[in-house]
Amino acid sequence: MPATPPTLPPIVPPVASRVSPVSPAVSLLVPAGSPSESAVRRDRMEKIALFRYQLIRAAADAAITTRQRGPMVWDLAAMVHPGPFGGTVTVSKDTIDRWIRAWRRGGFDALKPRGRVQGAVTPAQILSLAATLKRERPARTSAQVRRIMIDTLGDAPSESTLLRHFRTLELPTGVRDVFGRFEADYPNEMWVGDGLHGPRVNGRKTYLFAFLDDHTRLVTAARWAYAEDSVRLTAALRPALEARGLPGTIYVDNGSAFVDASLSRTCARLGIRLTHSKPYRPQGRGKIERFFNTVNSQFLTEITTVDTATGVVDAGVGSMVTSLDELNALFSSWVEMVYHQAVHSTTGQSPLARWEASWATRRPVRKSREEIAEAFRWSAIRRVTKSATVSLESNIYQVDQLLVGKKVELVYDPFDLAGLITVSAGNGVPAGIAVLVEIRRHVHKKAATAAADEAETGAKNAASGIDYLRLVEARHKGTMAGAPISFDKASTSKRPVVVFVPTVSEGIR
């Protein structure tokens, strides 16, 4: 049984001699270590302890039972209290409980904040000299500045102190933040995704959406597109989830396609944690960046793009590419037959070999095609009009009369606005389907631009000389024709796993 705390004394206002007329800010101007500074600090500690004591005195009474004390503490945590130095403050329940325990152990003195021990402060003139030495020769490192100061003055601040000071003054240090290496413990624990700007094909800029398994470095999803939007991202990601299984986490940057609400909804429906990196903080993104460097140096260097409309051929050697389909086919072959087969310098295994070996004792998490298709449907919030209709992309739909005036969620296929559209009430309760009344647009405007990508055509051309990527593609097709593909079995076969690259509409549907 804990010792009974002492009876709480009545609250007595502090006498005038204990109230310092000096404001808290003035204490910063008092020389360190002086008697005046100590007096000001003691006075502040007394005021803080008194504030804490006044706040907890009723809840800390020994006559109060534990059951009675709980609601009292919650009420105190919900209130706004006048602060010890003016203004208002709020205090959490955990903090109030901690103050009560402290008072029971040590009485009033235990409510005083603990004093902080201040280390040695580098004199301003020393830091000023260091900054002068850095400015006159910006190439000097902090270590060099320190050596000069030691030779001149006999002593100097540490390199870390000088480095922090230079960064505060925004002086170039030439030192980048160093991040420890991270690797997922098993496959599909985390996929890292990003986008890469590629060459122009038929006069249009191309973009690569790619996802890399963090543990094995296997390319789980990759697709070239004419735009960097959520529709093209979906075309790359959805087949990968059906073929490779579901990752625990998807780690991406803050590009417009990756922060789109459709990706958030997809991950939430499938139970995938979606994480975005902080701007300009690349921790954990080194693997995908290295993969893009490999794409640039080993794949794009072997590409020559041709504009079939103008006949303009970009400078380059290797495989001529006249359409997006050609680019995706060549890239898929290169990934499966070259990148996945090459031994990685960090893991000591090829991505495909490590992927296959890692599934020897575990199985991937999977969802049915129907569940994945449902997760990739889009949603929109609309308010039901007095005539029990809602508008979506200029189309009019009829809903239940009971929903008049309420907000509802419409879940639909962006490639088929005349198809099934389910309705949910504001609390997520199913509320039937939306019946088409008037249609003006059959495809969502975002999806329409993606569907137009498929309309392009181009002759299949090959450059003279050694066409490396075509040779890779031929080997890939030979491998595909040699044996059936199975994604359901935890593979122990040595043949490469083949990733099907669908059209945009196939990727969405």
Of the pLDDT bands very low, low, confident and very high (cuts 50, 70, 90), residue 504 is very low
Supply the pTM of this predicted model.
0.55
Q: Which pLDDT belongs to residue 314?
A: 66
Q: Which pLDDT belongs to residue 323?
A: 87
- Residues 202 and 226 sit within 8 Å (Cβ to Cβ): no
Q: Which pLDDT belongs to residue 313?
A: 67
Q: Which pLDDT belongs to residue 8?
A: 47
Tell me: the pLDDT tens digits for 214-257?
A: 999 999 999 999 988 888 898 899 999 999 999 999 999 888 88
Among 20-29, 33-42, 161-170, 395-404, which range has the highest average pLDDT? 395-404
How far apart, in whole angstroms, are the C-alpha atoms of residue 423 and residue 400?
9
Q: In this structure, what DSSP letter does residue 381 have?
A: E
Looking at per-residue pLDDT, the higher value among 498 and 288 belongs to: 288
Choices 3.30.390.10, 3.30.420.10, 3.40.50.1000, 2.30.40.10: CATH for 192-365+462-508:
3.30.420.10
Give how far Cα 335 sits from Cα of 159, 244, 254, 284, 500, Å: 45, 15, 26, 22, 12
Q: Which pLDDT belongs to residue 390?
A: 94
Q: Which residues contact 454 (CB under 8 A, 6 or more apart)?
A: 503, 504, 505
Mean pLDDT of 2-23: 41
Which residue, among 61, 88, 89, has the nearest Cα to 73 in the 3D structure? 61
Structure tokens at 17: 């001699």
Structure tokens at 304: 């020559």
Residue 490 has pLDDT above 60, yes or no: no
Residue 391 backbone phi and psi in degrees, to 5:
-115, 135
Mean pLDDT of 362-373: 91
Q: Where are the domains of the chain?
A: 16-111, 124-168, 192-365+462-508, 373-451
Q: Sort residue 322 into left (φ over 0), alpha (ψ -120 to 50) or beta.
A: alpha
Residue 101 has pLDDT above 50, yes or no: yes
For residue 102, count other CB atoms closer than 10 A to its CB: 18
How far apart, in whole angstroms, are the C-alpha atoms of residue 351 and residue 349?
6
Q: Distance between the two ends of the chain, CA-based, in angstroms?
A: 67
Tell me: the pLDDT tens digits for 141-184?
A: 787 788 788 877 888 898 888 988 888 887 877 644 444 457 88
**In the block, residue with structure tokens 């029990």:** 388
How far apart, in whole angstroms, are the C-alpha atoms of residue 201 and residue 314?
10
